[in-house]
Chains A and B, each alone.
Chain A
Amino acid sequence: MGAGPAGLAAAAEFVRFGTPCTILDDQKRPGGQYFRQLSPEIQSTEQNPRLLDVCGHRLVEFRCETTVWDFPAPRTLAWVSGTGNGRLNTRTLILATGAYDRPAPFQGWTLPGVISAGGMVNLYKSQRVVAGSRVVVAGNGPLLLTAAQCLFQAGVEVLALVEAAPFATQVIPQFPGLMTQPGLLGKGMSYRYGLWRRSVPVLEQQVVTRARGDHWIENIEVRPLDDKGKICRERRVEFDVDALVTGYGLMPSLELTRLAGCRHSFHSLGDTWVPERSTDLETSVPGVYVVGDGAGVAGYQNAMVEGRIAALAILNREEPSSRVSAALKVAIRQRCRRQRFSQALSNCYRTPLDYSALVTPDTVICRCENVLFSEIRPMLTDKGSVPSLARVKSETRAGMGRCGGRNCIPSLVRLLSSATGQSSETIALPRTRPPARPIRIGDLFSEALPDPDLPADPHSPRGVKDR
């Protein structure tokens, strides 16, 4: 499930060993986020990676625009698409659903023209459109460089790159780890060089504290952080912009691993829950594997090798062979190197920023339901009895909107963690409920079902079924 780098790499492995597989993806075309394709109606000389061709292979059934919304049974998934709905039973399942931009609320972040880093990259890659002509790229993490690169290719003026981490001082000690992937390191360095060559100011250990504008963003405020992560309110720089690209890293999408019943554990470095996996990347649910950024963000190279590992592990189980198990061993070793790189990269981007400090009373916490921090704060002030996340959700409606809490639950976890003084791990998450994402009711009519088991009629005594 998922036709991004991880899913496609898994499929390619199955194809290599002559085994059929089915790929489901909710987009029109394969590629996920990292390999997002340009719309075919828009021409460019840029080539698509060969890996995308695997979806056209005769052994691969590619079902696009298909949304998986629940797991009625451990390896039975419920799907819906424009053409209908149904269930799919499978012996083994590889979840490769990727990650999404971590929400990091600040004053004015919901203004039109404020776009997530991933969103900016997607816009450029899929349609060669940019969000503005005077843009600041701000936040934390390597995705900001990718976003800036897209803007450079588009000829957009990047007024500054604002990075919350003291990257320049943190990168040198990480070189040994970064050298495990010289290609990626070179790419990153060329992106940094590109900033320098174009004289784009790189403001490190600084954050955007405010976005202002009427119906569209017009202006931002940038402030430095001290080494303890406190925002220096006295100093600020302003930029007049017509778009702000904001990105504070990625988080794995866990709706499906939760609905599938996988066990999760807390990954403090990534400040996120991740599904527990064996060395073969199988979860606590037998037959269900999770690979790529959907199991913990570590980049596309790691995603591809993980896709291969899961596929090889599955092949090895079905029909053990020395060829498969040798390839599996090699892939597992490769993954170690990828993980080492990704760890080093994360270390470069460590920031002392306390995300809760960016939040002002009028900051929108839940975008869908427009719940402001001022509505949540009264519930957090009594340290002795800080409410559960479930209670904050039910009393403020935060987390009840269409996005299913993706854009606010992580923030609420941080806010509650600050209020209780305890780690994010202690904040119990509300139960994930289907559908994994909103589905159109009219799309649920095509599946043939046996006659219904009607609820008891209140007008007949219990135990008597009159239908």
Chain B
Amino acid sequence: MSLRVKNDVARGEPFVIEIDGEPIQAYPGETVAAILIVNRIALVRTVAAHPITRGYYCGMGVCWECAVRINGRSIVRACMEPAVKNLQVETCLNVGDL
């Protein structure tokens, strides 16, 4: 079953974003977090060089568990980040490998 609800919902034309180099379909109005969930993409990152697996949790922008890097620059909350055409998302925040 698709995790995108169809009942009483009309979405616009899909477009493509890039998650970890892979092209992934997105619909207008979706956040990066929703797209990660729909595609069952877990966020594997490191904390002080120790790998951990995380995902969307609070949905309101306070837990930062959905943190991803966008367009090679800032770390943002996927649940607050609107998907736009050609957005580049990296789920793996390798930090602390110092």
Partner of B5, one of A45, A120, A155, A216: A155
Q: A127 contacts B30, CB within 8 Å?
A: yes
In the assembled complex, the Cα of A215 lies from the Cα of B48 at a distance in Å of: 20
Query: A406–B63 contact, CB under 8 A?
Result: yes
Instruction: Enumerate chain B interface residues (CB-CB to A < 8 A).
Output: 1, 3-5, 7-12, 27-31, 33-34, 37-38, 40, 42-44, 47-48, 50, 52-65, 67, 74, 79-80, 82
Asked if A115 and B7 sit within 8 Å, CB to CB, the answer is no
Q: Encode contact with B along A128-170: 1 for CB under 8 Å, 0 otherwise.
A: 1111110000000000000000000111100000000000000
A interface list, Cβ under 8 A from B: 26-28, 33, 38-46, 100-101, 110-116, 118-124, 126-133, 153-156, 215-216, 253, 367-370, 401-403, 406-407, 437-438, 440, 442
B43 near A112 with CB under 8 A, answer yes
Residues of A near B64 (CB, < 8 A) are 368, 401-403, 438
- Kindly identify which residue among B8, B9, B30, B63 contacts A367, using a CB–CB cutoff of 8 Å: B63
Q: Does A130 lie within 8 Å of B58, measured CB to CB?
A: no
Listed from nearest, the 7 A-B pairs whose CB atoms lie closest are A112-B55, A39-B29, A119-B59, A41-B29, A41-B28, A122-B59, A402-B64
Whether the pair A215, B53 counts as a contact (CB closer than 8 A) is yes
Q: Is the beta-carbon distance between A129 and B37 smaller than 8 angstroms? A: yes
Q: Which of B12, B43, B62, B82 has the most CB of A within 10 A?
A: B62
- Counting chain B CB atoms within 10 Å of each CB, the highest count among A33, A43, A127, A368 belongs to A127
B61 surroundings in chain A (CB, below 8 A)? 26-27, 437
A76 to B87, CA, bound (A): 37
**Contact across chains for B60 and A119 when beta carbons are under 8 A apart:** yes
Instruction: Name the A residues within 8 Å of B8 (CB-CB).
Output: 44-46
Residues of chain A with a CB closer than 8 A to B82's CB: 28
Partner of A129, one of B3, B47, B57: B3
Which residues of chain B are near A124, meaning CB under 8 Å?
5
Q: Tell whether A130 pairs with B62 under 8 Å between CB atoms, given A40-B29, A115-B57, A215-B42.
A: no
Q: Are B60 and A132 in touch, CB under 8 angstroms?
A: no
Question: CA A154 – CA B80 in complex, angstroms?
Answer: 22
